Amino acid sequence: MIASNLLLIVGVLTTILFTVLSLVLVNRIEEVHRLQGALKKIKRSFDDLDEQAKLIVKTDLELNKAQDELDKRLKSLDALQKTSRLISTTLDENEIFRRLDQSLMIDLGFEKNLVLVHDEDKILHGRVNLGFSPEEIHFVLTNLEKNKSLKQAMEEGHTFSSVNSARHEREAIVRLFDVEHFVLTPILTQNGIIGILLVGNRSNAAAVTEGDEELVSVLANQIGQSLENARLFEQVYRSSQILESKIQDRTRQLASLLEEVKHISRTKSEFISAVSHELRTPLTSIKGYAAILITGKLGSIPDPVKERLEKINTHSDNLVKLINNLLDIARIESGRVEMKMEKCDIASMIESVRDLLTPQMREKNIQWQTEVDKNVPELVLDKHQIERVFINLVGNAIKFTPEKGTICIRVHRDTETATMEVSDSGIGIPKEDLNKLFDEFYRVDNEINQNVKGTGLGLSLVKKIVEAHKGKVWVTSELNKGTTFYFTLPLSP
């Protein structure tokens, strides 16, 4: 009984224990489940965090890459600007290449660079080079010529780069220049391609970007422009040198011609002087004998003979006048007549010329006007010679002005000279004769000259006298309206 009670008690206790343990177990299992749930959540959070961390790292890497790109681009732009400035401030082709060699090649940040440029015979030469041996350049030069399609594409202005070229082109360029990443662009001017520019890296170095391509194209344009400017300058410089040496040659020729002309002119003056002298003596005798015969002192002479003798006298007079003029021209030209310079009031001189020529003007009923500026000072001149100038000009004006015409003398003052004008309302002078008028013996072929005798030496003498006073003489004329002769005299001699 006791034993069965004990057994019962043990059974009950066991059941209770079992129940309690079961309850504890269930509780623990629930706890485990809860913990497992929490663990899962934590794991998920970790996973999320991991994802985010990876994203941050990736973004950071990308940012760094972009920053590097930007830095590289800024550096390249800086190099480009520096190079542009350097090469655009010289007009010497060799200096451009020297500066490119120093700056571009180092600053652009490529391992290999090459500038090939045409010479005058369109043959390419390596002018700037980094990372190429002479043999490699020779290889490029000989093989580039052979690659017709590449050559033609570049002549058309096409730029190639490892980022955007067709495969066969890329491979050809890689073979030619031994670069994996590259930009190859033509150097163009207004007259077409004058060279090429290549920048590149070998396989283990950084790849080029589209930005690099753009940059290298801009640089090639800049090189093209600078070379074009330098060549144009060279051309202009060379032409100016040629022109200068031609001018020097011509000046030398002209100087020797001038000497020759001076010599001839001197010889001519001497000859005219000598001949005139030789003529004057017998002419004076002829005139003298004619004059004696006319007087009848050597016996009476019949009227027809007297008439002829008077003609001899008149012709002799004309001849003496001509010879005297010729002698004067020759003497003034050779400087053998010294101008007797003295102060003179030009208005009074004009009045005395007027008095002298009034009878001739009256004969033709010609009006005379004078307009002399009050501010023209006394001029220093050879009175006798300048009076001859006025007499010649006014004499011609009377001769070539029809009846009832007008002759006007004007004098006005300029800054350094006084200008005298002798104008008439006469027959005028054809345009084509104007520039020959001051030549010796030149006379215009007109009705008056056919009837009235003249020597054609008056204006030539006028010119010589005015020039001996350091003045100038010229003429304007309108046919059938009138003519004006001008001459200047310096205000201070």
Interface with ligand ADP by CB under 6 A: which residues?
392, 396-397, 400, 424, 426-427, 429, 437, 442-444, 449, 454-460, 483
**In the complex, what is the shortest distance from the CB of residue 439 to ligand ADP, in angstroms, rounded to a whole number?**
9
Q: How far is the CB of 412 from ligand ADP (least distance, A)?
A: 20
Q: What's the min distance (Å) between Cβ of 324 and ligand ADP?
A: 13
Q: Is 42 or 479 the residue whose CB approaches ligand ADP more closely?
A: 479
Q: How far apart are CB 477 and ligand ADP at their closest, in Å?
A: 7
The SS3 call for residue 131 is: coil
Return the number of the residue (141 or 448) whose C-beta is nearest ligand ADP. 448
Residue 374: CB minimum distance to ligand ADP, A:
27
Single out the residue of 172, 166, 109 nearest to residue 144, CA to CA: 172
Compare residues 211 and 454 and give the one whose CB is closer to ligand ADP: 454
Burial class, 269, CB count within 10 angstroms (exposed 0-12 / middle 13-18 / buried 19+): buried
Give CA–CA dist 85/82, Å, rounded: 5
Measured in residues, the chain has a length of: 493
CA distance 207 to 162: 8
Tell the burial category of 473 from Cβ atoms under 10 Å away from its Cβ (0-12, 13-18, 19+).
buried
Residue 405 CB, nearest distance to ligand ADP (Å)?
10
Encoding tokens for residue 218? Answer: 């801009």
Shortest distance, CB of residue 390 to ligand ADP, whole angstroms? 13
468 token code pair:
């001996």
The span from the CA of 410 to the CA of 407, in Å, is 10
Whichever of 183 and 437 has its CB closer to ligand ADP, that residue is 437
Quote the least distance from Cβ 337 to ligand ADP, whole Å.
Answer: 19
Nearer to ligand ADP, 419 or 455 (CB): 455
CA-CA distance, 16 to 253, in Å (whole number)? 147
Report the 10 Å Cβ neighbour count for 97: 21
Q: Which residues contact 397 (CB under 8 A, 6 or more apart)?
A: 407, 422, 423, 424, 426, 483
CB of 446 to ligand ADP, least distance (A): 6
DSSP state of 208: P
Q: How far apart are CA 364 and CA 403, in angstroms?
A: 5
Closest to ligand ADP by CB, 329 vs 339, is 329
Residue 274, both tokens: 């000598």
Nearer to ligand ADP, 230 or 437 (CB): 437
For ligand ADP, the closer CB: 111 or 440: 440
Looking at the Cβ atoms of 177 and 486, the one nearer to ligand ADP is 486
Please give the helix or strand (H or E) that residue 420 lies within, else none: strand 417-424
**In whole angstroms, how large is the CA radius of gyration of the chain?**
56
